[in-house]
């Protein structure tokens, strides 16, 4: 066994141990940092040089850490300011019995695009839709699959999405140009997903749960002003204003609504921006709206920083050269995108984490694309969605647990695998046309 193989195996074993024992993944990542640092020293680098390589890797995602802080503030302020309750209150009435599953998918798409978070959408719109589905005795697998499809629609292509921002940071591309291309490359899978949910849900009946809307009426002032943070976010995104500025403006607007409309004190608001929305423990409102805040982003920020630190070492050492050489052999047969998919499956299954899976896939497949925008779209159409299809990975396991569904619902999450499959078929078709 070569040195490179031994180091990678040690890292994989640590990941597996954490998965099996339920230990926090961050410990395996820290162990990986130590292993890769030791390997770099063995290759003749000084300790000071190793530290610089680690810091260089972290610097590549410095922008996304700022975004994480803003996301934490945004999700918290939208909760307590009444923005999310306003959207949920008025969206529930849009659900029609015949098209319940389709409406669930579209509403989760809308919410995830507005918030940029799959976890946040699953804990709000996802929970509500699942509650309605269960109360009406509908197929829970189909409803849960629609929820998963919808929450990752925005996780993939929202200007506020941490995964979309991570891909931009890694590839050095513009998020709005990427979003435009993401929409084009996923239009057909999106339409097919909608059709499948209509066909499979034909004959189903369901009515909105009036107790949910009453709950929001009792606890919030649902003034139209509370919708302004979302309106401003969308408007500024359409105007292609820097996402950090757009989020900052939205946070200010939501905070103002929290103080002036909902009657929250300035001191309480500051605490909420850090800890997130904290409603009465054990209450139904808490189950729907608790969460958000800067503190909720600390763990994911640490995971991203540690994972990103690897990139400095990977780029300066031949640690991944063996893996790359093996995968290069598949490029001519499966196209570069096909190789990205294979890498995505392996990276997601091993890392159990969307961020680390994305970084590993980027590290391995970076050389397969000369156009970095094409690489960015390839990552968005593969690992960002595939990570949610790995049953033991965080990306899918957390939302499934949040909505109280079974992992079998992944079968009905059509959007998650139709996007990679469609783009794989298109890439193979394009490659064959060039050969003719």
Structure-token pair, residue 369? 């694309």
- Looking at residue 282, its pLDDT comes to 58
pTM, rounded to two decimals: 0.72
CA 15, CA 23: separation in Å to the nearest integer?
Answer: 9
Q: Which of the given ranges, 196-205, 217-226, 380-389, has the highest pLDDT on average?
A: 380-389
Q: What string of DSSP letters covers 171-197?
A: HT--HHHHHHHHHHHHHHHHHHHHHHH
**What is the average per-residue pLDDT within 195-205?**
82
Local confidence band at 220 (pLDDT 50, 70, 90 cut-offs): confident
Q: What distances in angstroms separate CA 209 from CA 92, 133, 213, 215, 272, one per listed residue? A: 8, 10, 7, 10, 28
Nearest CA among 342, 332, 326 for reference residue 386: 342
- Domain positions in the chain are 62-297
For residue 210, count other CB atoms closer than 10 A to its CB: 9
**What is the average per-residue pLDDT within 389-402?**
81
CA 308, CA 142: separation in Å to the nearest integer?
Answer: 36
**What is the average per-residue pLDDT within 85-94?**
75
Q: What string of DSSP letters covers 243-279?
A: HHHHHHHHHHHHHHHHHHTS---HHHHHHHHHH-B--
Helices (H), 220-367: 228-238, 243-260, 266-275, 284-289, 298-316, 321-351, 354-365
Structure confidence by residue, pLDDT tens digits, 34-77: 998 999 998 888 899 999 999 988 887 777 788 778 878 887 88
């Amino acid at each position: 066994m070569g040195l490179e193989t031994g180091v990678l195996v040690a890292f994989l074993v640590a990941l597996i141990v954490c998965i099996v024992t339920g230990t926090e993944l961050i410990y395996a990542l820290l162990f990986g940092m130590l292993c890769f640092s030791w390997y770099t020293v063995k290759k003749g680098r000084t300790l000071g040089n190793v530290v610089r390589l680690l810091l260089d890797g972290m610097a590549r995602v410095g922008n996304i850490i700022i975004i994480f802080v803003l996301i934490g503030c945004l999700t918290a302020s939208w909760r307590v300011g009444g923005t999310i309750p306003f959207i949920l209150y008025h969206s529930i009435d849009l659900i029609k019995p015949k098209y319940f599953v389709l409406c669930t998918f579209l509403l989760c798409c809308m919410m995830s695009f507005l918030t940029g978070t799959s976890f946040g959408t699953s804990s709000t719109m996802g929970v509500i839709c699942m509650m309605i589905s269960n109360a009406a005795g509908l197929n829970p697998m189909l409803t849960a699959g629609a929820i998963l499809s919808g929450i990752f629609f925005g996780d993939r292509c929202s200007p506020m999405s941490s995964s979309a921002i991570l891909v931009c940071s890694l590839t050095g591309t513009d998020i709005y140009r990427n979003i435009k291309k993401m929409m084009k490359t996923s239009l057909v899978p999106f339409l097919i997903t909608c059709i499948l949910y209509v066909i499979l849900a034909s004959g189903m009946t369901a009515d909105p749960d009036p107790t949910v809307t009453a709950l929001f009426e009792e606890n919030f002032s649902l003034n139209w002003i509370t919708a302004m943070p979302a309106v401003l976010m969308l408007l500024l995104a359409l105007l292609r204003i820097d996402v950090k500025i757009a989020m900052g403006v939205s946070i200010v607007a939501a905070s103002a609504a929290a103080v002036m409309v909902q009657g929250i004190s300035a001191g309480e608001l500051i605490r909420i921006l850090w800890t997130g929305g904290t409603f009465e423990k054990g209450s139904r409102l808490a189950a729907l709206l608790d969460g958000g805040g800067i503190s909720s982003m600390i763990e994911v920020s640490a995971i991203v920083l540690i994972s990103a630190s690897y990139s400095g070492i990977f780029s300066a050492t031949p640690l991944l050269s063996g893996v790359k050489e093996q995968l290069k052999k598949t490029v001519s047969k499966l196209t570069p995108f096909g190789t990205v998919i294979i890498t995505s499956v392996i990276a997601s299954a091993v890392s159990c984490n969307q961020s680390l899976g994305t970084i590993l896939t980027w590290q391995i497949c970076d050389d397969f694309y000369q156009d970095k925008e094409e690489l960015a779209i390839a990552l968005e159409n593969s690992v960002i969605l595939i990570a949610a299809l790995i049953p033991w990975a965080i990306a899918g396991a957390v939302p499934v647990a949040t909505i109280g569904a079974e992992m079998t619902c992944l079968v009905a999450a059509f959007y998650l695998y139709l996007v990679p499959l469609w783009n794989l078929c298109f890439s193979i078709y394009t490659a064959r046309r060039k050969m003719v």
